[in-house]
Amino acid sequence: MLLLALDTATPAVTVALHDGTDVIASSSQVDARRHGELLLPAVDRLLAGAGRSLDAVTGIVVGIGPGPYTGLRVGLMTADTFGLALGVPVHGLCTLDGLAYASDLESPFVVATDARRKEVYWARYDDSRTRVSGPAVDRPADIADEVAGLPSVGAGALLYPDTFPEAHEPEYVSAAALASLAAERLARGEELPAARPLYLRRPDAQVPKNYKVVTPK
């Protein structure tokens, strides 16, 4: 097994290689505006540094969000392209699950990432591997009662300390965590989600209301 994992659902452009036992290489760069520029060069550097070729990859793991439309589609389209070119399966994983897995928290907690518009993408977990609700998108003040008293993980939690007073690292997801979680689940014979995006809300760009269609007579 050689899994290539990647995620662009947060400001982190993150990639990793997993051989079925351990992460053998990983890389992360934080730049919310350059996902498209950074991802493929990061994959090239990762493979070269690990002494592996792309055609040795047996499966792709990609974070499916939730996340902003523009950033999220970069990772998903790249994963689909690799899968088609190599003839290997493409597995999706919720980005919040990767953050939860990397936290190593083993009592109930919340993962929250920045959804912009003064909102967070969030989910509740019983432990680092077990999501019990979500993902959802809400204003932090609207979910304060639901998350009260729970520790939290992620950039969204760090942004809103009034709602998430006990915030922990990591701030952003790592492809290393996604790869390890995927390898663990695949080894148990579990079927991973399809690589389809979790947007949770409509894109910012929309057709204006009362749009006048002009057609020739």
Residue 183, pLDDT score? 97
- Is pLDDT above 60 for 212? no
State the pTM of this model. 0.90
Mean pLDDT of the chain: 93
- Is pLDDT above 90 for 210? no
Joined together, the tokens standing for residue 151 give: 């520790």
For the segment 90-125, what is each residue's pLDDT rounded down to a tens digit? 999 999 999 999 998 989 999 999 999 999 999 999
- Is pLDDT above 50 for 5? yes
Alpha-carbon distance of 70 to 75, in angstroms, equals: 10
